[in-house]
Amino acid sequence: MSANNAFHVAVLAGDGIGPEVMAPALEILRRIEAKSGLSFRFTDAPAGANNYLATGKSMPDATVRLCEEADAILLGACGLPSVRYPDDTEIAPQIELRFHFDLYAGVRPARLIPGVPSPIVGADARGIDLVLIRESTEGLFASMGKGVVKHEDARETLVITRKTSERLFEFSFRLAERRKARGKAGALTCVDKANVFRAFAFFRGMFDEAARRHPDVTAERLYVDACAAMLAKRPWDFDVLVTENMFGDILSDLTASLIGGLGMAPSADIGDRYAVFQPCHGTAPDIMGQGKANPTGMILSAAMMLDWLADKHGVESAAEAGERIERAVDQAYAGGLKPMEFGGRNGTADITRAVLAGL
């Protein structure tokens, strides 16, 4: 547990551009520390494909123990397409952490920062500010490593449980309520395929029960295919969405692309006690080591960490610090910052400098 305003953060920089985006985020948190009365202790720990190559494990037991002891976990990105387990799957400690710490709520905000180009016509004027919540411990991913492949067929099993769904919907309605208190719409959309699969009718039934407990939030329901089409046409109509793991995996890459690119999108995987904060993007081996990586998603993930720590420990100054980081990012983009990720000239160092200047 943290003492007063002092937080211990486990830092898993990972592979590829992971360490390249982690360094700016830590620099920004150090600057926040100097100005806010908060204090951070960062402890680095190995995880990912490079660790697997060196040791035969995705992460050492010591990394898991550190994560158990820390107040929060910051993660860069892990896995490399060229490094695989014998069954040809990638090294993914980020997914193992979700299961180990029961991080059922994958929070994927997609906010279009003014000045950042969106591929959606009208988004500049109407804005995009939504949060997709992806269940992260079951659904189709419950089958991870357990699929049965025979010569004639292959099977993976999707799992929806009452225990996880009820906590997921409670978390989602509470998030919609917190956003409403900050002036947002206060609407929650359940995204499923309840017209075809019984497991999703079960999922929707539990959503309906939770909706009755939260009458202040407008509860809506959509099939995943219709939702994908609407996200691409009218993303400004959404506030908070909640969905199954695999649907969320796909839709969160879609929502990240609405706001300028994967490098812009932060994320958090949250459970009842632990939370991991990491950008939505992967290790981007095609640009690693070239100074081109956009650290914005990682920086905004660090801001989400501060907001979560504030809520968990009742430390209001941490929430203010998180908002200060968001404002500094907005200011940097309003000043004309254009990451190389979407055709501009600004690499990792420029973006970091601009955000630090905003602070």
Q: Looking at beta carbons only, is 186 or 279 nearer to ligand ATP?
A: 279
Asked if residue 45 lies in contact with residue 58, where contact means CB atoms within 8 angstroms, the answer is no
CB closest to ligand ATP, residue no? 282
To ligand ATP, the closest distance from the beta carbon of 29 in angstroms equals: 18
Question: Whole-number minimum distance, CB 286 to ligand ATP, in Å?
Answer: 5
Q: How far is the CB of 90 from ligand ATP (least distance, A)?
A: 7
Q: Which of 210, 230, 211 is nearest to 219 (CA)?
A: 211
For residues 247 and 197, is the Cβ–Cβ distance under 8 A?
no
Choice between 21 and 275, CB closer to ligand ATP: 21
In DSSP terms, 105 is beta-bridged to 135, 270
- Reduced to 3 states, what is the DSSP secondary structure of residue 79? coil
**In 3D, which of 52, 69, 57, 71 has the Cα closest to residue 7?**
71
- Smallest distance, Å, CB 262 to ligand ATP? 4
Shortest distance, position 299 Cβ to ligand ATP, whole Å: 11
Query: Closest separation between CB of residue 311 and ligand ATP, Å?
Result: 27
Residues that bind ligand ATP (CB under 6 A): 17, 21, 79, 262-263, 281-284, 286-287, 293-294, 341
Q: Are 348 and 295 in contact (CB under 8 A)?
A: yes
Nearer to ligand ATP by Cβ, of 21 and 268: the residue is: 21
**Conformational region of residue 27, where left means phi above 0, alpha means psi within -120 to 50, and beta covers everything else:** alpha
Question: With respect to ligand ATP, which residue has the nearer C-beta, 21 or 97?
Answer: 21
Q: Which residue number, 46 or 263, has a Cβ lying nearer to ligand ATP?
A: 263
- HEC-encoded secondary structure of 151-216: CCCEECCCECCHHHHHHHHHHHHHHHHHHHHCCCCCEEEEEECCCCCHHHHHHHHHHHHHHHHCCC
Nearer to ligand ATP, 52 or 169 (CB): 52
